[in-house]
């Protein structure tokens, strides 16, 4: 397995390119790992309300250094475990909120006047609402609830298993600690994914893939060879990319106004 440290392009048969940027959540990526700036629009696999959350977290950080991260840690769960272990790494900037890379890219797109797409459907979308309700039903199953009793052990075991797959990136400094962060993030993501059955994961990935194609179609109206930048968790990229390769039906989608 080759760990995804570099951007990956998917060329849409209808025109344009989706460029996936595999990043580590809550970590500031070194310049060597950041994608080039030759893109024409930005798409995030998030809800537009994420902008409000970022603003709140950013304000918390200004008022008290690290306060947003501490609040997330106190919230418990696998995300908290990931953050606590990342905080122990001294030579990199990790366990930071708002999530540094998508937050940086949104600000860059805003500064450059580039279209930005938030792809997660809203609560008024009946199909997505039904999917969300199925997620709740799945999480409430007895087997899932019992799993929460052993969540810490499960996270440790998952981290140990995935870390052996992670290769160190080709960067000047702190490559070992960056690889540790990648393993922690992958453990968090895999534990989160384990709470969903395959049908729920496939349904979500298919919806996002359709909306990615829709965002790209909107972007290529003005430029046939447009590149759509998509920051995505390293361990999630392979699944969304595989779904795109099945050429899902395009779901019409338009850019949103990015909040100041």
Tell me the per-residue pLDDT of 213-243, one tens digit each, with 9 for 90 and over: 999 999 999 999 999 999 999 999 999 999 9
Q: Tell me, what's the pLDDT at 144?
A: 59
Cis peptide bond N-terminal to 111, omega within 30: no
% of the chain exceeding 90 in pLDDT: 84
pLDDT at 146 over 60: no
What is the separation of C-alpha 123 from the centre of its chain, rounded to a whole number of angstroms? 20
Q: What value does the mean pLDDT take over residues 79-94? A: 95
pLDDT at 54 over 90: yes
Q: Which long-range contacts (CB under 8 A, 24 or more apart) does 165-170 make?
A: 165/1, 165/3, 166/3, 167/2, 167/3, 167/5, 169/5, 169/32, 169/33, 170/5, 170/32
Q: How many Å apart are CA 218 and CA 252, to the nearest integer?
A: 8
Closest alpha carbon to 69 in 31, 47, 100: 100
Q: Phi, psi at residue 18, to the nearest 5°?
A: -100, 120
């Amino acid at each position: 397995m080759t760990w995804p440290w570099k951007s990956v392009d998917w060329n849409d048969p209808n025109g344009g390119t989706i460029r996936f940027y595999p990043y580590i959540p809550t970590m500031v990526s070194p310049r060597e790992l950041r994608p080039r700036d030759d893109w024409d629009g930005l798409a995030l696999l998030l809800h537009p309300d994420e902008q409000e959350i970022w603003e709140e977290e950013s304000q918390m950080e200004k008022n008290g250094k690290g306060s947003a991260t501490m609040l997330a840690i106190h919230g418990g769960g696998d995300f908290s475990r990931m953050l606590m272990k990342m905080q122990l790494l001294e030579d990199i900037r990790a366990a930071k909120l708002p999530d540094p890379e998508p937050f940086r890219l949104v600000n860059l797109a805003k500064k450059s006047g580039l279209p930005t797409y938030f792809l997660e459907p809203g609560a008024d979308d009946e199909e997505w609402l039904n999917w969300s309700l199925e997620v709740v039903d799945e999480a409430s199953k007895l087997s899932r609830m019992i799993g929460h009793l052993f969540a810490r052990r499960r996270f440790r075991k998952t981290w140990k298993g995935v870390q052996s797959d992670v290769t160190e990136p080709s960067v000047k400094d702190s490559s070992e600690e960056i690889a540790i962060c990648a393993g922690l993030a992958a453990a968090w993501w895999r534990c989160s994914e384990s709470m969903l059955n395959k049908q729920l994961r496939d349904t979500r990935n298919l919806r996002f893939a359709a909306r990615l194609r829709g965002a790209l179609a909107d972007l290529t109206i003005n430029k046939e060879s447009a590149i759509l930048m998509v920051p995505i968790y390293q361990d999630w990229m392979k699944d969304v990319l595989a779904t795109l390769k099945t050429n899902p039906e395009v779901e019409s989608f338009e850019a949103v106004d990015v909040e100041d």
